[in-house]
Amino acid sequence: MDGFGIPDPDGDGPAASTLAPGNGRPRQVRPFDHDRVARAVRELLIGIGEDPDREGLRKTPDRVARAYREAVEGLGRDPSEVLTTVFDEGHDEMVLVRDIDFSSLCEHHLVVFSGKAHVAYIPNSKGQITGLSKLARLVDLYSRRPQVQERLTSQIADALVEVLDPRGVMVVIEAEHLCMSMRGVRKPGATTVTSAVRGQFLSTATRNEGMSLILHR
């Protein structure tokens, strides 16, 4: 273990960040280590019986490391960085941004799951709202990490509750998991739907209104 209570399997250095653990919060992470990831990919290629020095694979460890850097860039970032613009518009009805494309990494198999996120909230009585793009940025922040769909859904909802103090939040995510389509059970086209509701969306009428706005076009 390092000084932050994080296992460091190779014992070669502490984690760099002390961000608090917990739902809706970044987890403690080390900075992204490009060389370490590239070395691991080279090992992977050897492990699967490939020649990492053949022409087509020579640059692969470096490419894969760059791809992973992008795929996990939400690790260690805090939602307050994203939900910065809070206007006081006096609008206190539901706001919904639907069909936010995302892709994330299933933490069990490190393959992609991707789909659409729908994010709704009801501002508080002061009418505090955020920029619409910030809801999509929040989805990006939490999807760019190793994830499970349920946690992704509730982290987005909880971050909105924490930062905007709204009267209600509803997040619905529909996604296809490559780990269920390209391998394993092999069910391409199967879609997983998760939802997280907070505050006024717990009431049946409000929840139904949100769902019908999301699903019926």
Ligand X SMILES: Nc1nc2c(ncn2[C@@H]2O[C@H](COP(=O)(O)OP(=O)(O)OP(=O)(O)O)[C@@H](O)[C@H]2O)c(=O)[nH]1
Instruction: Compute the distance between CA of residue 65 and CA of residue 71 in angstroms, rounded to an integer.
Output: 10
The H or E element containing residue 157 is: helix 149-164
**126 touching ligand X, by CB under 6 A:** no
Which of ligand X, Zn ion, none sits in contact with 144, Cβ below 5 to 8 A by type?
Answer: none
Instruction: Let me know the angle formed at the C-alpha of 169 by 165 and 170, rounded to the nearest 5 degrees.
Output: 165
**106 touching Zn ion, by CB under 5 A:** yes
Residue from 198, 200, 195, 199 nearest 214 by CA: 195
**148 touching ligand X, by CB under 6 A:** yes
Question: Smallest gap, in angstroms, from Cβ of residue 104 to ligand X?
Answer: 8
**149 touching ligand X, by CB under 6 A:** yes
State the DSSP string of 18-62.
Answer: ----STTSPPP-PPP-HHHHHHHHHHHHHHTT--TTSGGGTTHHH
Residue 34 annotated as lining a ligand binding site: no
Residue from 80, 69, 9, 86 nearest 35 by CA: 69
**177 touching ligand X, by CB under 6 A:** yes
Which of ligand X, Zn ion, none sits in contact with 149, Cβ below 5 to 8 A by type?
Answer: ligand X
Question: Smallest gap, in angstroms, from Cβ of residue 188 to ligand X?
Answer: 13
Q: Is 149 a catalytic site residue?
A: yes
Q: Is 109 a catalytic site residue?
A: yes
Per-residue tokens: 173: 């995510």
| Residue 97 dihedral angles phi and psi, to the nearest 5° | -115, 120
Which of Zn ion, ligand X, none sits in contact with 205, Cβ below 5 to 8 A by type?
Answer: none
**Interface with ligand X (CB under 6 A), residue from 97, 179, 211, 213:** 179
Residue 106 annotated as lining a ligand binding site: yes
**108 touching Zn ion, by CB under 5 A:** yes
Active site members: 106-109, 149, 177, 179
User: Residues comprising the binding site for Zn(2+)?
Assistant: 106, 109, 179
